[in-house]
Amino acid sequence: MTGNVTIIGLGLIGGSLGLALKRGGDGIHITGFDRSYATADEAYRRGIIDTVAPSVKAACENADFIIFATPVNTTVALMEEAAEWTLKDGVIISDTGSTKNPIMRTAKVLIDKGVTFIGGHPMAGSHKSGIAAAKGHLFENAYYILTPSSNERAEQLDRLSGLLKPTKGKIVVLDAAEHDRMTAIVSHFPHIIASSLVGRLADQEKQQPFVKNLAAGGFRDLTRIASADPTMWRDITIQNRSELLDQLNGWLLEMESIRAMIVENNPDQIYDFFADAKKFRDHLPSTFEGAIQGALYMTFDLHIDIPDHPGVISEITKILADEQISITNIRIVETRTDVYGILVVSFQTADDRKAARAILSKATEYSMHIL
Ligand SMILES: NC(=O)c1ccc[n+]([C@@H]2O[C@H](COP(=O)([O-])OP(=O)(O)OC[C@H]3O[C@@H](n4cnc5c(N)ncnc54)[C@H](O)[C@@H]3O)[C@@H](O)[C@H]2O)c1
Ligand SMILES: O=C(O)C(=O)C[C@]1(C(=O)O)C=C[C@@H](O)C=C1
C-alpha cells in the first residue's frame, strides 16, 4: 500500500496506529497533527510520523487517508470543520473513536459533499493515555470495527481495510447503532462501574482510613480501567448516553435481585449465582492461553514467587529487557505470609509470557505460575 496518511491526535491510539502503519513499508508517508506541539514533536522523534503539520487543516490537504484519533467530542467538532476544508479527491476519512452513532450522524456533512467517511474503532487500548504509551502491536489480534455508511462502496472499504492491514487487527464491519449497544455492554458501562467502585472506596475510606491498604489483587484487577483519561470517558459517556441509561436500568434490576438473594440467604441460590458467572467468564473467547484478544482486552500474567531481598525486581526486569521481552505491567501482591511474595508480571501476548517463563526458569530458581 502506498499513499499519504494523516493522523490527527497522536496519543495512545493515534501513536500506536502510526507505529503499526509504519510496519506496512516505506510507501506510506504519515503526516501528524496534535494540539500539543510537544506530542507531535515526540511522534516525529520516535519515527511514528514523517512530517509534523502546522495546523489540522494543513495536515489534511494532501492526504489520501485521514484518521481522527482524538476524544470523540473533539472528533465530531473536527469532522464538522472538515466539511469546509480543501481535501484531495478520493480521500477516505476515518476515526478511532469508542462511539460510532454520533460520529456516523456527523459524517453526513462530509458524505453530502462527496467525501468518503468510514467509522473505525480498534477494540484494544489501555488505561494509559498519551504518546508515551503508544505501541506498534497494540491492535494485533484485536477486533478493528469499521462502520461504513450505506453510501460507501465496497472498493472504499477495501482500500481502508488494506491500509489497516499492518495493524494485524481483525476487521469486522458493524452497523453504528449495533456497535454502540455492544460496546456499552462490554466497555462503556463496565467503565462506569469500575469508577463508581473506586468512588465508593474513596467515600468509605474517610471512616476506615486503613481500608485502601487491603485493596489487593481483586479490587485492583476490577478497577484498573478507572485510571484512564477522564476526558476520553466523559466524551464516551455523553455520546453513548441512551445505551448507558439502558445498561444502568438493567444493572439496577440485577442489583435488586442480588439484594433479594442475599436477604434470602439460600446457599444453593448463592452458589448458582457465582457458578453461572464463572462458567460464562471461563468460556469468553479470550480467557485461555494462546487465545486471541477478544472483545475484552486482556493481559497475560505470570506469577513469580520472589524472595524478600532488595534488587530482586530489577533482576527480573533486566533479564526480560536483555531478551527484549516487553512487559505491560508489574505489581507485587501483598499477601506475604512468609519470606516469599508474589510478583505479577503482565505481558501483551501469550507468546511473550511463554518466552519470559522459559528464560526466567533458566536464569533463576523462582517458581512461576500461570493462573
Ligand atoms: N484509550 C483506549 O483504550 C482507546 C481504545 C480504542 C479507541 N479509543 C478512542 O481513540 C481516541 C483517542 O484515544 P487515546 O486513548 O489515544 O487518547 P489520548 O488522550 O492518548 O490521545 C488523544 C490525543 O488527541 C490530542 N488532541 C485533543 N484534542 C485535539 C485537537 N483538537 N486537535 C488535535 N489533537 C487533539 C491530544 O493532545 C492527545 O495527544 C478516542 O476517541 C478514544 O475514544 C481509545
Ligand atoms: O483495556 C483497557 O484499558 C480499555 O479500557 C480498553 C477499551 C475497553 O474497554 O476494552 C476501552 C475503550 C476502547 O474503546 C476500547 C478498548
Which CATH fold topology does 300-369 show?
Answer: VC0802-like (3.30.2130)
Minimum-distance ligand to the CA of 183? Answer: 2
Interstrand relation of 65-68 and 170-173 (parallel, antiparallel or unpaired): unpaired
What is the pLDDT, as a whole number, of residue 332?
76
**pLDDT one-digit tens code per residue, 280-299:** 999 987 533 334 444 344 56
Mean pLDDT of 154-169: 96
What is the pLDDT, as a whole number, of residue 344?
87
**pLDDT one-digit tens code per residue, 167-184:** 999 999 999 999 999 999
Q: Which three cell numbers stand for residue 213?
A: 491498604
Mutate which of 8, 13, 67 for ligand 1? The one with the most ligand atoms within 8 Å of its CB, which is 13
In the chain, the amino acid numbered 214 is L
Could you tell me if the CB of 187 is within 6 A of ligand 1?
A: no
Residues of the chain with CATH 3.30.2130.10: 300-369
What is the pLDDT, as a whole number, of residue 202?
97
Could you tell me if the CB of 143 is within 6 A of ligand 2?
A: no
Inform me whether the pLDDT recorded for 3 exceeds 80. Answer: yes
Minimum-distance ligand to the CA of 237? Answer: 1
Counting from 1 in the atom list of ligand 2, the atom nearest the Cα of 122 is 15
**What does the alpha-carbon distance between residue 31 and residue 33 come to, in Å, rounded to a whole number?**
7
Residues of the chain with CATH 1.10.3660.10: 179-282
Inform me whether the pLDDT recorded for 39 exceeds 70. Answer: yes
Q: How many C-beta neighbours within 10 Å does residue 264 have?
A: 9
Mean pLDDT of 346-351: 86
Whole-number percent of the chain with pLDDT over 90: 80
Minimum-distance ligand to the CA of 77? Answer: 1
Alpha carbon of 24 to ligand 1 centroid (Å): 23
Minimum-distance ligand to the CA of 127? Answer: 2
Could you tell me if the CB of 96 is within 6 A of ligand 2?
A: no
What is the pLDDT, as a whole number, of residue 295?
39
Could you tell me if the CB of 71 is within 6 A of ligand 1?
A: yes
Confidence of residue 340 (pLDDT cuts 50, 70, 90): low
What is the pLDDT, as a whole number, of residue 288?
34
What is the pLDDT, as a whole number, of residue 334?
52
Confidence of residue 336 (pLDDT cuts 50, 70, 90): very low
Interstrand relation of 340-347 and 327-333 (parallel, antiparallel or unpaired): antiparallel
**pLDDT one-digit tens code per residue, 86-120:** 999 999 999 999 999 999 999 999 999 999 999 99
CA-closest residue to ligand 2 atom 11: 125
Minimum-distance ligand to the CA of 236? Answer: 1
In the chain, the amino acid numbered 153 is R
Could you tell me if the CB of 97 is within 6 A of ligand 2?
A: no
What is the pLDDT, as a whole number, of residue 135?
94
**What does the alpha-carbon distance between residue 329 and residue 307 come to, in Å, rounded to a whole number?**
20
Q: DSSP character for 65?
A: E
Tell me if residue 350 falls in helix, strand or coil: helix
Could you tell me if the CB of 349 is within 6 A of ligand 1?
A: no
User: Regarding predicted confidence, which is higher, 60 or 329?
Assistant: 60
Average pLDDT, the chain: 92
What is the pLDDT, as a whole number, of residue 339?
45
**What does the alpha-carbon distance between residue 89 and residue 147 come to, in Å, rounded to a whole number?**
21
Q: Which of 35-49, 211-225, 299-313 has the lowest mean pLDDT?
A: 299-313
CA-closest residue to ligand 1 atom 21: 11
Mean pLDDT of 177-195: 98
Could you tell me if the CB of 126 is within 6 A of ligand 1?
A: yes
Q: Which three cell numbers stand for residue 233?
A: 470517558
Handedness of CA 334, 331, 144, 34 (dihedral sign): positive
Which CATH fold topology does 3-175 show?
Answer: Rossmann fold (3.40.50)
Alpha carbon of 123 to ligand 2 centroid (Å): 7
Burial of 108 (0-12, 13-18, 19+ CB in 10 A): middle
- Identify the helix (H) or strand (E) that includes residue 347: strand 340-347
Alpha carbon of 54 to ligand 1 centroid (Å): 19
Counting from 1 in the atom list of ligand 1, the atom nearest the Cα of 33 is 33
Alpha carbon of 227 to ligand 2 centroid (Å): 12
Does the domain spanning 179-282 belong to CATH 1.10.3660.10?
A: yes
Inform me whether the pLDDT recorded for 341 exceeds 70. Answer: no
CA-closest residue to ligand 1 atom 5: 125
What is the pLDDT, as a whole number, of residue 338?
42
Place of cell 454520533: 102
Could you tell me if the CB of 98 is within 6 A of ligand 2?
A: yes
CA-closest residue to ligand 2 atom 14: 98
Residues of the chain with CATH 3.40.50.720: 3-175
Could you tell me if the CB of 125 is within 6 A of ligand 2?
A: yes
User: Regarding predicted confidence, which is higher, 30 or 335?
Assistant: 30
Q: Do 65 and 4 contact (CB within 8 A), yes or no?
A: yes
Q: Which of 82-86, 318-322, 338-342 has the lowest mean pLDDT?
A: 338-342
Mean pLDDT of 193-200: 98
**Does the predicted interface ipTM exceed a cut of 0.95?**
yes
Confidence of residue 337 (pLDDT cuts 50, 70, 90): very low
Helix axes 37-45, 12-22, angle to 10 degrees: 20
